[in-house]
Structure 1
Amino acid sequence: MTQVLPHDTDSARDSDPHLQEDGLALLRADGVRPRVMAEFRKHLGSPLVGVFGGVLFDEVAVIPIAASVDRTGRFRQNFTDRGIRSGLSALTLISGNRQQRADTARWLKEQHRAVRGTGVGEYEGVRYSALDPELWIWIAASAMNAILESFPHCTGYAMTPVEKEAAYQYQRHLLIDLELPSANGKLPATYATFVDYYDDMVENKSQSNGFLREQFTGLMRLPLPTLLLPGALRPALMPLWFAIRPIAGRMIQVCSAKAMHPALRQMIGFELKSHHNVEFALYTRLLQLVWRVTPDRLLVEPVLYNNIRIDTARSQLDGSPAAQRKFDKLERSLTRRNEQLADFYHSHRLDTFAAPERPTGTCPFG
């Protein structure tokens, strides 16, 4: 169940330049509880967010995005692998340092220049361009919304309005390099304006479509992820996967439907019934139990986990030369490890976001 922790009055702004540069001072705003903000930061890199992955289908409720997603067709090859590789393509936007975030944003913009054209089939005649400011920012807003909406369900912490503002501003800081020069290419300035913007996009610029409904239904039939899985091992794992995936798909569908905007739920065609409320209560209790008992090294994406370790160690420095030497050694070790992880992520990210010459039908946006 959702819990609210006691208010912590020792949450003064931190003037450390490192915290300012990495945006961590935003999580130390006046009136927030440090524990809740620390949990939110971990949540950004937690695989538990994936249980609410269906909330991200708001992206393809905007018809030009649905047209581009349908045109490329790569989800039909392996929906699971595509989602993983899309995540690896953008992971450093959340977990990387300032330079890595800027480099990743620049790479994503460059790769998406090729994502433009005209839809086929149901979307015949619909023109799309990934770098259309309205469409581009909607993709980022979708991810931010999914993280914010899933946080209380995954962790059990209910944020106050001040904490929601701080969490939003921290995400906005991390994604600032994704913004485009035009006014329509900017994220809303405050959480309140973000909520108004999101509601307007769902209620006035989104609509039900075949790809949206098909992919949400397809969550019950997720293909076996094959990245890094030897081909000889896949047949042996298929019976287990076939047994697990309906359960996992059901959990994702129910949790996503409960967390998403009601108008979007109608577009998808998922009708919430009383038994879904019971299921959702069980699922969220399970998620929150996992959150409480799982060590952070398993709960949080490795690069972000290492960065949190560095920041925690920095905050504990007492000014002594011995403590500084110990910290410097830890920072060098974890920084090297993060560089190796970044190389690994980059080696498995998407090669191209463009539609194939012969369309097979899905998502350049992830």
Structure 2
Amino acid sequence: MARPIVRGTAAWKYFGDFRDGLLAGQVLVLQVAHPVVAAGVRDHSDYTADPWTRLMRTGASLSIYVYGGEAGARAEAERLRALHRTFTGVADGRRYSALDPAAYAWVHATLVKVPVDAQRFFGRQLSTSELFEYYAQMCDVGRMLGVRSQDLPPDWAAFERYYDSMVAGFSANEAIAELFETIRTVRKPVRWLPGSWWRWHARIQMFLIRATLPPAFRERLGLQWTDRDQRRFDRFASGLRLLATPMPPGLRTAHMRWIGKLNVWFRAHPRVYRALIRGDGPGSAPPRA
């Protein structure tokens, strides 16, 4: 059992760091690379039709686990498990469930890895003691979400071996291709945003995906990466590191902490949430008809 996630602990400092958002595309690619997750996205996700609402709901849900307090996190975990029980179907002649233990654990693993990778790319790598505390805290979150204890590697070194072995078994699939197409063609979130500016969104997202995916997996997807690309990314990462590293952790995580608190309040006032967001709760997304 890890220390509770409170101000100053590793998960509190790193899980909601604004730099984590730069790996949003990367983590989506790695999640849908899993065949069960890919089938669930194909059959039940509405992200291609309404990615912005889906993104806001996902961010709201994630914020509760770390910044919404223990009661809020447990309630959100129960809601998510109930929701995912409805996500079932058939893929390649076999029935699947979104609560398939291996797939469910993999989705959690990708979210555990993001803050560590974000610091490796854009900040200061976590110390050994920070990694120990962070991983133990995120294992507690995983158990709360219903990830089986046997699917949680015992320590960070074992987690990295598990993570690398999973990625080594992935290859291109239709869900990844659809994700890339959505990134390239998704509509502007607001009409007033100039189209010339918005076109840069897809370029930047794809650049960050290519930059941060594990290199061998990037090659299997047929994504090009040149020495010039690496130099551009290194300059960007260095600039962000100089800007963000001196900031206090409370400032780097302020947006996620407030989102977490706000969504716990929404949970206590569901009518207000439904009126504003048109959903049943933070992170909710009914299955696609």
TM-score (norm 2): 0.82
Query: Once the 2 structures are TM-superposed, how far is the Cα of residue 217 of structure 1 from its aligned partner?
Result: 4.7
**Equivalent in the alignment of 2:16:** 45
Q: Please, which of 201, 216, 227 is the counterpart of residue 274 of structure 1?
A: 227
User: Are the aligned partners of 1:95 and 1:304 in contact in 2 as well (CA < 8 Å)?
Assistant: yes
Question: In terms of mean alpha carbon deviation, does 193-202 or 275-284 score higher?
Answer: 275-284
Aligned partner (choices 137, 140, 151) of residue 105 of structure 2: 137
Q: Is the 8 A contact 1:58 1:264 kept in 2?
A: no
Unmatched runs of 5 consecutive residues or more in structure 2 = none
What pairs up with 1:23-62 in 2 under 5 angstroms? Answer: 23=5, 27=9, 37=10, 41-56=12-27, 57-62=29-34
Within-5 A mapping of 1:1-366:
22-23=4-5, 27=9, 37=10, 41-56=12-27, 57-119=29-91, 124-154=92-122, 156-181=123-148, 183=150, 186-204=151-169, 206-225=170-189, 234-235=190-191, 237-238=192-193, 240=194, 242-292=195-245, 299-302=252-255, 304=257, 339-340=264-265, 347=274, 348=277, 349-354=282-287, 356-357=288-289
Range that drifts further, 343-352 or 70-79: 343-352
Q: 1:208 to 1:344 in 2, by over 3 A?
A: farther
Q: Could you tell me which amino acid in structure 2 is paired with residue 278 of structure 1?
A: R
Q: Secondary structure at the match of 1:75?
A: coil
Residues 259, 351 of structure 1: CA spacing in aligned structure 2 closer, same or farther, 3 A cutoff?
Answer: closer
**Relative contact order higher in (CA < 8 Å, ≥ 6 apart):** 2
Q: Is the 8 A contact 2:77 2:145 kept in 1?
A: yes
Structure 1, gaps ≥5 residues long: 1-19, 28-36, 226-233, 308-334, 358-366
Q: Aligned letter for 1:125?
A: G
CA displacement at 1:21 relative to structure 2: 5.5
> Residues of 1 paired with 2:161 and 2:269: CA distance?
39
Cα offsets for 1:103-138 (capped at 9, x unmatched): 11111101110000124xxxx535320111111111
Q: How many residues align?
A: 280
Shift of 1:341: 6.3
The 8 Å contact of residues 23 and 114 in structure 2, kept in 1 or not, is answered as yes
Of structures 1 and 2, the larger Rg is shown by 1
**Letter of the aligned partner of 1:197 in structure 2?**
Y
Matching residue's letter, 2:71: Q
Shift of 1:207: 2.3
Amino acid paired to 2:82: E
In the aligned structure 2, how far is the partner of 1:114 from the partner of 1:76? Answer: 20
One-letter code aligned to 2:174? G
Q: Is the 8 A contact 1:105 1:178 kept in 2?
A: yes
TM-score (norm 1): 0.66
Deviations 1:75-106 (A, max 9, x none): 22122332222222332012121111111111
Q: CA RMSD in A?
A: 3.2
Identical positions, percent = 21
CA 1:111–1:97 in 2, change beyond 3 Å: closer, same or farther? same
